[in-house]
Chain A
């Protein structure tokens, strides 16, 4: 494949990179006054990149000598990433305007992060993987401390950076071990070597590499026991940034994990299955138990994201196309639920317009703002996986995939842990519906955010079930690209 056609495969990343650099120039000369325009252009760029996925970038195959895969899997993940990034840009100006800390760089940083995430999900080589991951992470570290004068935000940025650097180190160490014991960084090549039997020391070396790679990636998806940073960072970061963290990078890291596990280490499924099972169970249990005592809604949603990542991981356990497609469906629905609930959190502001984050302030929301409370209740029931809300469906699919390979005892335990999670989701609903009203929130006034909440609510409503057919088809098609 010629270089030119390889470049055509990366059209979305190319558009976003060139666009973000141009916008960066605009920031430098236009200053913060240009923020609104830059945001609009950034969203337009993301939309454009999404449309480019219809072209060769969505099905073109392998480019740059195996470094980059343009396939249905990558396209599916990128679509979700672009949607989540665009929403994170749209909701930001109002939040930062109220606190007086809006900078024109915000949309640019999100775009750069989106480029990195695009590389992650399309990586066909451990090195493209790492470059993409670092590009995404570096932008994210800056975003976490975006409100420079706010100590919590600065703390979040620092914590994220230190722990992120540690995880990158672990990942790199794993990559070097894998390279050392397989002699290649290409996913296909690694899979070929993992598929051949080897002497005990070599096998052990490969295993070590595998464990470190998985540990590094588990940090990025915030699976227990590598989740410690999540609550602190989610709480400290400005809410639009938290919205971003909980959605787009989660999808990217999860998709990356799927690709590495299946494409590069598919023959070693038996080896990594136990790691995934442990992380999945630990995440669903700890994500549920630790959330119970939280009083801050952002921290609670952080644990909720850990919990949900655990459930998504169950889909990886079988290592089959069915399982991978279940995870992809999970991510799609998860994005809708998470964006929806964070959009509701963004509406939480007191009479003076200051953002509030305590769960107690949600008391009696059903009487002061019934529509908002109903939307939040739907997101909570959906995150808990209670039918007839659509959040039930992806849980159904991941456990279906687990049962498919005969691991029904695991499915039993896994699904039973969802009852722990249900407890704290119910607590939010109880606060909103059963408790006496607290001081009412300031009316939102933003039609765009209201519209986005309504859209997310429709997706998680029972109407979502009508999408099962097409969504299942697309995600299965995407999953088959890995096998």
Chain B
């Protein structure tokens, strides 16, 4: 048992699950049911957030690597094993922080089949916490894969016009990726004789097998992440999903890919990671330039932000495969920051979409005049997305670029162009929507943010600034765990191309050979 005296992780998983069942079984007239379901969902997500705060405050920074561990061998072949380190803690915090906001964002936007909607979201929260908290290989897989079901329903039932195509694409794409990972997991469990994730993280798989295992896991995480060229499900899913669905998709589900890399791929297959670093960095380089350019020409606000997500995720992979502390910490910060910022941006799109029912950028313009509050918050999140110092976006991207430059100067160079392009498409979006002439009567008729919308966006804005000004609160719990991953990676760390070399002038041949080794 842990310091709190009760199995907090299991309770955090159970609370939304129970609330989901209650939402569905609630008796009463349809409107009454809808109202009850909304309050029930809000209550359950707030309870989970409160538990999350308890979890964070009682997490012993610098203490044991795995805390709040639970173990119950109830499934025969695998166990209900829970436990978190700093990395999982931060991602759980991100999930429980965004969930009440998602419920709030759907408060009036969703009018049909509310109990089912709330149940799907609560189920989603259960599964997200499960993914980050599970310490058993197969338990992780079950949570990881099960997330497809509620998301499929959310996109398919409450999505836009092309929702059915998008829901299929989302489901089948991610399913194909993850089943290959399952076979790899089966092999690993046999080889290592355990399904415990901490034990597997310390197990040295044969170098020949590592490549295959890495590729199988890569198939799953790269789709989830998503990385170019398997990112195409993301724009479709985002555009069709309801606002809250997009928030949770961008905010948390994409983080599962990055989490998978840092929890599974890097520490379990260090040699393969080092060997295939060219692949990951190569794909990331293409992604960051290509998807940024694609984002630049979008007319649909949500699609633009979806492509910007792919570009931002490339920073995550850059940082992860930099094999150094700056890179890893940077990519974790990008994950947290992107979760908040892209979530907030989707909410901003949702705000105007609820008023005008279109996401077409050209239909807007000049809203700064009639919606000053909105324009201010939107500006803050735009700047955070661009990576302005003082916002959360800067810390992570800067560290990730610094990290990757040390490993590959070319990748570092390309990554920096991503910043420039990112600024271009975000500022271009902002200019077209917020500035300009307020010449469209329906746009001019839009009201500024309501109290509810302020309540959704202001907390995110506060955290974005907190993370930008004092990132230490977020980095400190993770830094020790990053150290553990680095210790696994150290023996195989690829040699950097960006290091000082001795001058080319009159150095004797044998000295030149040794000169590059520092």
Contacts and interface: CB of A to CB of B under 8 A. Distances in A.
Given A396-B182, A403-B190, A469 B146 contact: no
A434 B145 contact: no
Contacts of A416: 176, 179-180
Interface stretch (B160-168, B358-366, B438-446): B160-168
A148 interface: no
Interface in A394-420: 396, 399-400, 403-404, 408, 411-412, 415-416, 418-419
Nearest to A397: B77
Nearest to A385: B179
B142 interface: yes
A472 B113 CA distance: 40
**Which residue, of B138, B141, B142, has the highest number of chain A Cβ atoms within 10 A?**
B142
A165 interface: no
Contacts of B149: 381, 386
A430 B156 contact: yes
Size category of the binding interface on chain A: 20 to 34
B421 interface: no
Contact of B164 (A400, A423, A434, A466): A434
A426 B183 contact: no
Contacts of A418: 179
A473 B175 CA distance: 30
B466 interface: no
A166 interface: no
B77 to A, nearest CB: 6
Contacts of A465: 74-75
Given A416-B176, A426-B152, A430-B156, A411 B164 contact: no
Contacts of B176: 416, 419
B171 A412 contact: no
B74 A403 contact: no
Contacts of B152: 426, 429
A326 B175 CA distance: 22
A384 B187 CA distance: 22
Contacts of A472: 76-77
A138 B403 CA distance: 73
Nearest to A410: B183
Given A412-B183, A422-B172, A404 B76 contact: no
Nearest to A388: B146
Contacts of A466: 74-75
Contact of B145 (A367, A374, A387, A419): A387
B167 A468 contact: no
A433 B153 contact: yes
B76 A469 contact: yes
A408 B138 CA distance: 17
A469 B74 contact: yes
Interface string B189-222: 0100000000000000000000000001000000
B186 interface: yes
B81 interface: no
Given A387-B141, A434-B156, A434-B163, A415 B148 contact: no
Contacts of B77: 468, 472
A404 B146 contact: no
B416 interface: no
B186 A400 contact: yes
B74 A430 contact: no
B175 A386 contact: yes
A399 B216 CA distance: 15
B349 interface: no
Q: Is the interface of B mostly helix, strand, loop or mixed?
A: helix
A472 B153 CA distance: 32
A160 interface: no
A429 B296 CA distance: 37
Contacts of A408: 183, 186-187
Interface in A411-468: 411-412, 415-416, 418-419, 422-423, 426, 429-430, 433-434, 465-466, 468
A95 interface: no
B171 A468 contact: no
Contacts of B163: 434
B471 to A, nearest CB: 36
B142 A388 contact: yes
Given A419-B176, A422-B175, A468 B75 contact: yes
Nearest to B186: A403
Interface in A361-408: 366-367, 370, 374, 381, 386-388, 392, 396, 399-400, 403-404, 408
A404 B190 CA distance: 7
B167 A430 contact: yes
B186 A411 contact: yes
B114 to A, nearest CB: 13
A412 B180 contact: yes
Contact of B168 (A374, A392, A426): A426
Contacts of B113: 367
B139 to A, nearest CB: 10
Contacts of B377: none
A412 B164 CA distance: 28
B230 interface: no
Contact of A415 (B75, B116, B168, B180): B180
B15 interface: no
A429 B157 CA distance: 11
Given A370-B24, A465-B75, 18 more contacts: A386-B145, A386-B148, A386-B175, A387-B141, A387-B146, A403-B190, A404-B190, A408-B186, A412-B180, A416-B179, A419-B175, A422-B172, A426-B152, A426-B168, A430-B156, A430-B167, A468-B75, A472-B77
28 contacts: A374-B24, A386-B148, A386-B149, A388-B142, A388-B143, A392-B142, A392-B145, A396-B182, A396-B186, A399-B183, A403-B183, A403-B187, A404-B190, A411-B186, A416-B176, A419-B176, A419-B179, A422-B171, A426-B152, A430-B156, A430-B168, A433-B156, A434-B163, A466-B75, A468-B75, A468-B76, A468-B77, A469-B75
A-B pairs, 10 with minimum CB distance: A469-B76, A468-B76, A387-B142, A403-B186, A388-B146, A415-B179, A434-B156, A411-B183, A419-B176, A387-B145
Interface of B: 24, 74-77, 113, 116, 138, 141-143, 145-146, 148-149, 152-153, 156-157, 163-164, 167-168, 171-172, 175-176, 179-180, 182-183, 186-187, 190, 216
